[in-house]
């Protein structure tokens, strides 16, 4: 003789199963939130050496005013100390650093006549600790003409402007006339 279960017992098993499912979902959501928080902390709190800023060992050279001036920028020098700027081995000027030890100089093209693209620019001075600090870089070539990178924003804008009316036209074309049923609807649902 088969034993019949009471409806109350079936309901309690169902509720027990539902509570297990919701508890599992809560645990999974909690574990996911903890994992995401740990990943976020790892991105925000990356280790950096004390007293050094990222990219302080670089001498940045960029052309300005269409190749009329060369902007020279370096960091890590003693605050408000003199730094010598040289083109190759010949000195071209001296500059004083700011309160953070950053050097920013604008060298006119007339001073760079002797130096062509590839000639070295040297910044020589004292670091924060008092030791000698020398940053060396080469004069970058001037931009001769506009290239494809200059046209990229305009090309993307043209594609977006062309896609907008095309999208509107396709959306309107697909709507059909109001009051008609979609194709194949009547064949399957005939009364």
pLDDT at residue 123, as a whole number: 92
Is the pLDDT reported for residue 137 higher than 70? yes
Backbone angles phi, psi at 18, to 5 degrees: -65, -40
Do the beta carbons of residue 99 and residue 127 sit within 8 Å? no
Do the beta carbons of residue 128 and residue 53 sit within 8 Å? no
- Residue boundaries of the structural domains of the chain: 60-138
> Rounded to whole angstroms, how far apart are CA atoms 138 and 119?
5
Burial of 151 from C-beta contacts in 10 A (0-12 / 13-18 / 19+):
exposed
* Beta strands 90-96 and 103-108, pairing class: unpaired
Is the pLDDT reported for residue 40 higher than 90? no
pTM over 0.75: no
- Tell me the pLDDT tens digit for each residue of 157-182: 998 898 888 888 877 776 656 666 56
Per the structure block, which two tokens stand in for 64? 């300005």
* Percent of the chain whose pLDDT exceeds 90: 17
> Rounded to whole angstroms, how far apart are CA atoms 137 and 112?
14
More confident residue, 136 or 10: 136
- Close Cβ partners of 108 (under 8 Å, ≥ 6 residues apart): 68, 69
CATH of domain 60-138: 2.60.40
Q: pLDDT band for position 187 (50/70/90)?
A: low
pLDDT at residue 49, as a whole number: 46
Question: What average pLDDT does the segment 62-87 reach?
Answer: 87
């Amino acid at each position: 003789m088969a034993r019949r279960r009471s409806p109350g017992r079936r309901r309690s098993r169902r509720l027990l199963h539902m509570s297990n499912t919701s508890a599992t979902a809560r645990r999974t959501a909690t574990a996911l939130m903890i994992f995401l928080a740990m990943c976020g902390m790892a991105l925000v709190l990356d280790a950096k050496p004390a007293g050094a800023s990222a990219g302080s060992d670089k001498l940045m050279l960029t052309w300005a005013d269409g190749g009329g001036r060369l902007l020279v920028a370096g960091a890590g020098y003693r605050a408000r100390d003199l730094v010598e700027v040289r083109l190759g081995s010949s000195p071209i000027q001296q500059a004083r650093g700011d309160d953070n030890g950053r050097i920013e100089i604008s060298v006119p093209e007339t001073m760079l006549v002797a130096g062509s693209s590839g000639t070295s620019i040297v910044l020589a001075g004292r670091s924060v600790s008092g030791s000698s600090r020398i940053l060396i870089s080469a004069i970058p070539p001037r931009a001769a003409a506009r290239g494809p990178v200059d046209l990229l924003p305009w090309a993307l804008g043209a594609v977006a402007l062309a896609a907008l009316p095309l999208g509107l036209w396709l959306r309107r074309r697909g709507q059909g006339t109001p009051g008609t049923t979609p194709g194949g609807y009547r064949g399957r649902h005939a009364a």
